[in-house]
Amino acid sequence: MRSTRTRNPWLTVSGFVSVQSTRSGQIRRRLAFAFAAALLWCSTGNVVWARDLYVDNVLGQDNLNGSAAMPSGVTIGPTRSIRRALQYADGGDTIHIANRGVPYYETVTLQGSLNSGFPGTPFRLVSDGAVISGARCVPPTAWIERSPGVWKFTPDGKGRYLLLQGGQPLPELPLNEGDGLTGLPIGQWGSLRGSIYFRTSLDTHVGAPDMPFEFAYDQTGITLIDVKDVEIRGLVVRHFRYDGVHAHDRVERAFLENVKLETNGRSGLAVSGTASIGLTNVEITGNRGAGVTLREHGWLETRSTRIDAGTNPLFDRSADTTLFIDDALMEANR
């Protein structure tokens, strides 16, 4: 039986370490830290300090170095994209993502030691509500009128689809091969053989090319693989074709707080392989499949987290996964 001591994502995450409040305990911790720092200095000859990097998709530029929140001079200032800041990042750094009311239309991958932290000094993505979106506009020329009032759009790649208008998902009608398109109601859409179909009213003489649609374009918002000691705070991740956040494998002590994972094509969060994730004050809502997907040996612990999956299951999990909800172990169906 696996021990919670080896996988529990809260054990060394900042803010969840069990600490004694006595003065003697503080002295012991300081001595231990000083001893560890001395060993690091002796073994490497130098100390690597964690840095703060800044991203701003309104004021920033990707030819700036990310070292300041505001542009200053030729090279100093925030990057425009999160991806560019990650190219500058090193272990234990914090990336501050500005919320300017404009979504970041990109995908983010944290992988390896440069995107990992250390116990007590995690690698951080922090924001005050910035949105990372997988949606893109449907080009008007991409629509083809399949029959009177029925329009067809074929996205790149197969997979789960999501059609939006004004940032909100439109109602979908499941289509079957034998039923055809005659039963598709006005204002609804369905997918069939790799294409999206939408029905408009013939009375208004407004076709799908005249309407501002968006669709889920990118696959996954934030991907974690082979990282340790990671914190993601204050982000909103929405409108991706599969998952808002997916911890693939070899993820230890990753932590999400005050994050919203909403309206993605499969689930808000997926945890698989040997990944272990902790959630607190996270909202997972409006995703087309389960709220959370757990596979292989995925390990998830939630605290003060709200999951609303509608008529879908809150958790879609396989037998060897581990799930704690507010410190209570939830048995898996076997």
Closest C-alpha among 294, 243, 233 to residue 268: 243
Q: What is the DSSP letter of 206?
A: -
**Measured in Å, how far apart are the chain's first and last C-alpha atoms?**
16
Per-position DSSP letters for 24-93, written without gaps between them: HHHHHHHHHHHHHHHHHHHHHSS-PPP-EEEE-TTT--TTS-S-SSS-BTTTBS-BSSHHHHHHH--TT-
Are the CB atoms for 10 and 19 separated by under 8 Å? no
Rounded to 5°, angle at Cα 195 from 190 and 198: 40
Question: Quick one: pLDDT band at residue 4, thresholds 50, 70, 90?
Answer: very low
CA distance 162 to 134: 10
Burial of 83 (C-beta count, 10 Å sphere; 0-12/13-18/19+):
middle
Burial of 121 (C-beta count, 10 Å sphere; 0-12/13-18/19+):
middle
pLDDT at res. 218: 96
Distances (CA, A) of 75 to 62, 65, 86, 112: 10, 6, 17, 27
Least confident of 78-82, 92-96, 143-147, 180-184: 180-184
Closest C-alpha among 80, 88, 71, 128 to residue 104: 80
The string of pLDDT tens digits covering residues 220-268 is: 999 999 999 999 999 999 999 999 999 999 999 999 999 999 999 999 9
Distances (CA, A) of 125 to 5, 177, 281: 26, 44, 16
pLDDT at res. 179: 63
pLDDT at res. 332: 75
Least confident of 155-159, 257-261, 287-291: 155-159
Higher pLDDT, 86 or 49: 86
Question: Quick one: pLDDT band at residue 49, thresholds 50, 70, 90?
Answer: confident
pLDDT at res. 45: 41
Given a cut of 80, is residue 19 above it in pLDDT? Answer: no
